[in-house]
Amino acid sequence: MYKTKVQNLNNDTRNAFVFYSFNDKDTHDMNQKITELKNKLDKAKEYVEKMPGIQLSKSEQLKQIDILRNQLTVKTEILEKYKNNSPFDLSH
């Protein structure tokens, strides 16, 4: 770019010079990238808002996990009981 000329300027002037030295294509490309990033962030926000249980507090989520684990344990025990006491025992 214009390094020799920029080196002789003070910091404020140098920053302004660098800022204004972007051409229209660079500005358009940056605006396009910013818009793409904004769209990705908006999509991510939508996904997070739709996640089940996201409206619950951490303690409510932990309580729900506990309930579901207990239900899983009970159902697993029932399933094992029925597997072991099959009424269709054909081994006789």
In this structure, the answer to whether residues 24 and 2 fall within a common structural domain is yes
Task: State the pLDDT at residue 1.
Answer: 44
Residue with tokens 């029925």: 82
Structural domain for 66, as ranges: 53-92
In this structure, the answer to whether residues 33 and 4 fall within a common structural domain is yes
pTM to 2 decimal places = 0.45
Residue 29 — pLDDT band, cuts 50, 70, 90?
confident
Q: Say whether pLDDT at 88 is over 70.
A: no
Asked if residue 56 lies in contact with residue 64, where contact means CB atoms within 8 angstroms, the answer is: yes
Q: d(Cα 33, Cα 28) in Å, to the nearest integer?
A: 9
**Number of structural domains in the chain:** 2
In this structure, the answer to whether residues 46 and 12 fall within a common structural domain is yes
Helix or strand holding residue 47 (H, E): helix 24-50
Task: State the pLDDT at residue 59.
Answer: 94
In this structure, the answer to whether residues 46 and 62 fall within a common structural domain is no
- The answer for residues whose C-beta is within 8 angstroms of residue 21's C-beta and 6 or more apart is 1, 2
In this structure, the answer to whether residues 5 and 33 fall within a common structural domain is yes
Task: State the pLDDT at residue 40.
Answer: 94
In this structure, the answer to whether residues 71 and 30 fall within a common structural domain is no
